[in-house]
């Protein structure tokens, strides 16, 4: 929080530019580069997007799969973020891999991003996966095309991945198995309001009750046959860095009350934007729920997309895949921005006369220790 408070302010140092024509000067201060900062890491998102796009193949149908945990697990997860976020990601992958291999006879692969909030900033742990619907067979000898649903008089055949109910059951089974193993090994912190779960009987009742809740697994097929998987990657890239809320959703902060907009489902499934009001302290508390453990990787690749296998996997796919129709990668589909939009920056020009600015001074960012304990530190940091 202290780092983000210093982001792009004068104590951080930076660069001063001047216009040689009208003598206008502007100062651009250094950023904090914290992954939770809403102003930083645009280049990091762009790099992730480029690297992920290299794994996509023309002619392959890609699905977005979302695994969500029951809300009853939220408190336990907040007290054990590193262990249980990792458990969520591995249980989701193992369940997906099992279903793809058993139902399709295909090698599974996936790109996964962890997401911990909902529109109201409440804790809501789930993962998004980008999954190819076609790929090499398990023995690596043939190409397996994406399955289609049966066409009816009212609906044409649509691409499908695996059985949603079986995937949900496999996910809950694997997550609970890993959760119980962590508990037996003493790897879970069970304190505060959860102290009653220290009793073996109470723990058994708690884990049994989880099966009564919804383990939501959602498989989203491409909206249309012309849909590009890049738009799913762009959606996932937004959650790579930047924290749980963007500036454009903030409405006001008046008399210690923060107002922001959030999507809300209406009866019938449609959505609308509604204002949400929280006290300043409660807003910061909710925002802080989504600070990840230090060094925790929220984006991971599994199966054929894993770093150890991806080169051989992509080569195998290209060898086995039937010739796909040529796609001009330089021309994005209608309504989509090019991938480069996330990381390019125009030449700096003067706002008055539009002439290029020249760099005239530059200072390095001080160390965090000097910032935290120096004369410019935040008053609240003393407490």
Look at residue 202 and tell me if it is in a domain: yes
User: Quick check: is 227 in a domain?
Assistant: yes
Identify the pLDDT of residue 316: 95
pLDDT tens, 313-336? 999 999 999 875 434 434 444 334
Residues 87 and 127 in one domain: yes
Three-class secondary structure of residue 122 per DSSP: coil
- Looking at residue 348, its pLDDT comes to 78
149 part of a folded domain? yes
pLDDT at 277: 96
Tally of domains within the chain: 2
Considering the domain boundaries, does residue 111 fall inside one?
yes
Domain span holding position 153: 55-243+292-323
Q: Which helix (H) or strand (E) holds 165?
A: helix 164-184
Do 181 and 226 lie in one domain? The reply is yes
For 144-155, write each residue's pLDDT tens digit: 999 998 888 788
User: Of all residues in the chain, what percent carry a pLDDT higher than 70?
Assistant: 92
The predicted structure's pLDDT at residue 335? 39
Higher pLDDT, 206 or 350: 206
Nearest-angstrom CA–CA distance, 327 and 333: 10
Domain CATH number, residue 84:
3.40.1310
Tell me the C-alpha distance between 64 and 365, whole Å: 40
- Report yes or no: 292 and 113 within 8 Å, Cβ to Cβ: no
Task: Please provide the average confidence, as pLDDT, over all residues in the chain.
Answer: 87
Rounded Cα distance between 42 and 16, Å, is 22
Spatial contact of 200 and 307, defined as CB atoms under 8 Å apart = no
Is 308 a residue whose pLDDT tops 90? yes
Q: pLDDT-based confidence at 297, cuts 50/70/90?
A: very high
Structure letter (DSSP) for residue 332? P
Of 288, 315, 348, the last residue of a domain is: 288
Helix, strand, or coil here: 218? strand
Angle between helices 164-184 and 200-210 (to 10 degrees): 170
CA 377 and chain centroid, separation:
32
Question: Is there a single domain that holds both residue 198 and residue 76?
Answer: yes
> Could you tell me the pTM of the whole model?
0.85
pLDDT band at 341 (very low <50, low <70, confident <90, very high): very low
Q: Are residues 184 and 280 in the same domain?
A: no
Whether 80 and 105 map to the same domain: the answer is yes
- pLDDT per position as a tens digit, 212-223: 887 899 999 887
Domain match, 169 and 100 both: yes
In tens, the pLDDT along 236-291 reads 887 777 788 888 899 999 999 999 999 988 777 678 899 999 999 999 999 999 99
| SS3 (DSSP) at 207 | helix
Q: Is the pLDDT of residue 197 over 80?
A: yes
Q: Residue 262: what pLDDT?
A: 94
Length of the chain: 383
CB 109 within 8 A of CB 304: yes
* Residue 102: C-alpha distances to residues 108, 205, 320 (Å): 11, 32, 20
Residue 303 is predicted with a pLDDT of 96
List Cβ neighbours of 203 (8 Å cut-off, separation of 6 or more): 183, 197
The pair of structure tokens assigned to 306 is 């894993």
Lowest mean pLDDT segment, chosen from 112-121, 228-237, 295-304: 228-237
The helix/strand/coil state of 75 is helix
Which percentage of the chain shows pLDDT scores above 90? 57
Classify residue 110: in a domain, yes or no: yes
How would residue 225 be classed by pLDDT, with cut points 50, 70 and 90?
low
- Short-list 199, 196, 206, CA closest to 176: 206
Query: Taking Cα atoms as reference points, which of 219, 218, 207, 212 lies closest to residue 181?
Result: 207
Same domain, 71 and 220: yes
Same domain? For 126 and 139 the reply is yes
The reply to whether 271 falls in a domain is yes
With DSSP H G I counted as helix, E B as strand and the rest as coil, what are the percentages for the chain, rounded to 5? 35, 20, 40
What pLDDT is attached to residue 194? 87
Q: Looking at the structure, do residues 85 and 125 belong to the same domain, yes or no?
A: yes
Residue 247, pLDDT score = 84
**117 lies in the same domain as 89:** yes
Q: Are the C-beta atoms of 367 and 13 separated by less than 8 Å?
A: no
182-192 pLDDT, tens digit per residue, is: 999 999 999 88
* Adjacent-strand bridge partners of 271: 265
pLDDT (tens digit per residue) in 90-148: 999 999 999 999 999 999 999 999 999 999 999 999 999 999 999 999 999 999 999 99
Query: Three-state SS for 94?
Result: helix
Would the pLDDT of 300 be above 70? yes
Residue 322 DSSP one-character state: P
Q: Tell me, yes or no, whether 173 lies in a domain.
A: yes
* pLDDT band per the 50, 70, 90 thresholds, residue 337: very low
Do 296 and 173 share a domain, yes or no? yes
- Compute the distance between CA of residue 108 and CA of residue 92 in angstroms, rounded to an integer: 12
Q: Cα dihedral angle (33, 37, 41, 44), rounded to 10 degrees? A: 100
Task: Report how far residue 231's alpha carbon sits from residue 234's, in angstroms, rounded to the nearest whole number.
Answer: 5
In a domain, 26, yes or no: no
User: Do 194 and 261 belong to one domain?
Assistant: no
- Residue 167: pLDDT above 60? yes
Write down the pLDDT at residue 24.
84
């Amino acid at each position: 929080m202290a780092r983000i408070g210093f982001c792009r302010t004068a104590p951080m140092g930076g660069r001063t530019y001047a216009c040689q024509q009208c003598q206008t000067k502007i100062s651009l201060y250094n950023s904090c580069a914290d992954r939770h900062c809403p102003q930083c890491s645009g280049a990091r998102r762009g790099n992730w997007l480029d690297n992920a796009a290299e794994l996509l193949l023309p002619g392959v149908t890609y699905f977005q799969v979302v695994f969500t945990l029951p809300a009853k697990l939220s408190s336990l997860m907040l007290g054990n973020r590193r262990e249980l976020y990792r458990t969520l990601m591995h249980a989701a992958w193992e369940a997906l891999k099992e279903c793809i291999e058993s139902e399709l006879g295909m090698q599974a692969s996936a790109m996964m991003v962890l997401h911990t909030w909902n529109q109201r900033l409440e804790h809501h742990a789930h993962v998004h996966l980008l999954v190819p619907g076609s790929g090499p067979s398990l023995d690596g000898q043939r190409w397996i095309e994406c399955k289609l649903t049966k066409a009816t008089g009212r609906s044409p055949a649509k691409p499908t991945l695996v059985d949603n109910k079986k995937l949900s059951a496999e996910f809950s089974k694997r997550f609970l198995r890993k959760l119980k193993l962590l508990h037996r090994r003493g790897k879970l912190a069970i304190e505060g309001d959860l102290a009653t779960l220290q009793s073996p009987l109470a723990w058994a009742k708690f884990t049994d009750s989880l099966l009564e809740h919804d383990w939501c697994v959602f498989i989203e097929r491409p909206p249309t046959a012309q849909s590009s998987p890049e738009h799913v990657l762009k959606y996932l890239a937004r959650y790579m860095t930047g924290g749980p809320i963007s500036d454009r959703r903030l409405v006001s902060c008046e008399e210690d009350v923060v107002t922001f907009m959030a999507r809300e489902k209406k009866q019938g499934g449609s959505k609308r934007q509604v204002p949400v009001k929280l006290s300043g302290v409660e807003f910061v508390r909710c925002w802080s729920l989504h600070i990840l453990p230090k060094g925790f990787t929220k984006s991971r690749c599994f199966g054929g997309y894993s770093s150890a296998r991806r080169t051989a996997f992509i080569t195998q796919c290209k060898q086995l895949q039937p010739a796909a129709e040529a796609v001009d990668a330089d021309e994005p589909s209608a309504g989509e921005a090019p991938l480069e939009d996330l990381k390019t920056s125009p030449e700096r020009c003067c706002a008055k006369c539009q002439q290029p600015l020249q760099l005239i001074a530059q200072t390095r960012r001080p160390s965090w220790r000097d910032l935290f304990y120096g004369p410019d530190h935040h008053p609240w940091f003393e407490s």
